[in-house]
C-alpha cells in the first residue's frame, strides 16, 4: 500500500460519485469530491502548484511570507502548505466570508486581514489591492497572485483534468465550473480541448456576477455584489480566465444555490459548500435541457462544515430571505 509521507501528499486524486437521488432528466450527473482534499477544498491543488513553482524559481526561502487575497479556500490551502513547509502566511479575506474560515486560518497560524466586499477592483480597499500593498511593504514576501499566476490554471490542467478523464474513462460530455479566478474552467478546458474536444465546458455564475454577460455578450457590466455564495462570482475578469473554452453559461440565484446544497445534504448525504450549490444547480439546468443521455460532471468544491452557521442555519437563511 502506498503511504503518504505528509499531508501534502494527500492533495488530489479525489473520488467521483454519481448522483442517484436528484432529478437529472436523461443525464447522468457525477460529482468530484474536492472536499476530500486535506484543506477541504479544490484550492489545495492551486496552492500547492503555486508554492512548488515559486520554490523552483527561487522566490521562497525559509524566512519568506506568502501573501494572498482570497475568498478563503486558496488562503487555507496556501496557509496549510506554508505551515508544513515552514513559511509564514498573511491572507486578505473579504468581510462577507464565513467566520469559520477565519477561525480555521488562524488555527493553522495564518495572519488574517479582512477588507471590504462592497467595492470594485479600482478601489484601494478591494481585497486584491490590499494584498498587493501588503506584499510591497513586507520584506522577503511572495505574493501568490492567484488571479494572474498561470500556475493556477496549470494545476488543473496537470491534475484535476487528467484525473477526471481517467476516472470517467474519457466519457464525459460536459463539465460545469464556477469562476472565482477562472483557473479551474481554464485549466480543465485546455486539457479537454486537446484530449476530448466533444466535452463542453459550462459556466455556473451567481446572479450579480459579471462573467456570464462577458461570455455571452462580450459585455462588461458593473457587479451588484448581491451573491451570497463564497469563492465564485466576479467583479472583474482575471488574467487566469480563458473565456474561449466556455461553451455555455447559466446564472444561478442565491435561493437556487442554497436550496440545492440543502437538498444535496438531505438526499445524497453530502455536505457541500455554498459554491457547490451554484455549480450543481447549473449542472441540473444543463441536464434537464438535454434530449439524449449525457455524462455531466461538476464539483463539491469544499466542505459544508464551514457553512453550518449560514447555509445550513435556518435563522440565517430566513434573515437573508432564502426560506
- The residue annotated as part of the active site, out of 32, 43, 190, 212, is 43
How far apart CA 92 and CA 111 sit, in angstroms, is: 9
DSSP 8-state class, residue 178: -
Which positions ≥6 away from 3 have C-beta within 8 Å? Answer: none
**CA pseudo-torsion sign 98, 119, 225, 176:** negative
How far apart CA 125 and CA 147 sit, in angstroms, is: 17
Q: How many CA atoms lie within 13 A of 169 on its CB side?
A: 1
Cell of 253: 440565484
Beta strands in the chain (DSSP E): 16-18, 28-33, 65-70, 88-94, 111-115, 141-143, 174-177, 200-206, 246-252, 295-300
In order of 45, 182, 299, 318, the CA distances from 41 in angstroms are 9, 15, 10, 27
> Can you spell out the DSSP letters for 235-283?
SS--TT--GGGEEEEEEE-HHHHHHHHHHHHHHH---B-HHHHHHHHHH
In the residue annotation, 43 being an active-site residue is answered as yes
Q: Please state, as a whole number, how many other Cβ atoms lie within 10 Å of the Cβ of residue 318.
A: 10
Q: Are 45 and 292 in contact (CB under 8 A)?
A: no
Helix axis angle, 254-268 relative to 274-289, nearest 10°?
90
How far apart CA 176 and CA 318 sit, in angstroms, is: 29
Just list the catalytic residues.
Answer: 43
Amino acid at each position: 500500500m502506498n503511504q503518504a509521507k505528509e499531508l501534502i501528499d494527500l492533495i488530489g486524486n479525489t473520488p467521483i460519485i454519481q448522483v442517484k437521488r436528484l432529478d437529472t432528466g436523461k443525464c447522468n450527473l457525477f460529482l468530484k469530491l474536492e472536499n476530500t482534499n486535506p484543506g477541504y477544498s479544490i484550492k489545495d491543488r492551486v496552492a500547492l502548484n503555486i508554492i512548488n513553482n515559486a520554490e523552483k524559481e527561487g522566490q521562497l526561502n525559509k524566512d519568506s511570507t506568502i501573501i494572498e487575497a482570497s475568498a478563503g479556500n486558496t488562503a487555507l490551502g496556501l496557509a496549510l502548505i506554508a505551515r508544513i513547509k515552514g513559511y509564514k502566511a498573511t491572507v486578505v479575506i473579504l468581510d462577507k466570508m464565513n467566520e469559520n474560515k477565519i477561525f480555521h486560518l488562524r488555527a493553522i497560524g495564518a495572519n488574517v486581514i479582512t477588507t471590504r466586499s462592497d467595492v470594485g477592483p479600482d478601489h484601494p480597499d478591494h481585497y486584491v489591492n490590499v494584498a498587493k500593498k501588503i506584499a510591497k511593504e513586507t520584506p522577503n514576501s511572495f505574493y501568490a497572485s492567484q488571479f494572474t499566476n498561470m500556475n493556477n490554471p496549470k494545476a488543473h490542467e496537470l491534475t484535476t483534468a487528467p484525473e477526471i478523464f481517467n476516472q470517467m474513462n474519457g466519457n464525459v460530455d460536459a463539465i460545469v465550473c464556477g469562476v472565482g479566478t477562472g483557473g479551474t474552467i481554464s485549466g480543465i478546458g485546455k486539457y479537454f480541448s486537446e484530449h476530448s474536444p466533444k466535452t463542453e465546458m459550462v459556466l455556473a455564475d451567481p446572479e450579480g456576477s459579471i462573467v456570464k454577460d462577458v461570455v455571452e455578450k462580450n459585455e462588461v457590466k458593473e457587479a451588484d455584489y448581491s451573491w451570497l455564495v463564497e469563492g465564485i462570482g466576479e467583479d472583474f475578469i482575471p488574467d487566469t480566465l480563458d473565456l474561449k473554452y466556455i461553451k455555455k453559461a447559466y446564472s444561478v440565484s442565491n435561493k437556487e444555490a442554497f436550496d440545492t446544497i440543502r437538498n444535496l445534504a438531505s438526499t445524497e448525504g453530502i455536505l457541500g459548500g455554498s459554491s457547490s450549490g451554484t455549480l450543481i444547480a447549473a449542472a441540473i439546468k444543463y441536464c434537464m435541457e438535454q434530449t439524449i443521455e449525457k455524462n455531466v460532471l461538476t464539483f463539491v468544491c469544499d466542505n459544508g462544515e464551514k457553512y453550518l452557521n449560514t447555509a445550513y442555519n435556518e435563522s440565517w437563511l430566513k434573515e437573508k430571505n432564502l426560506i
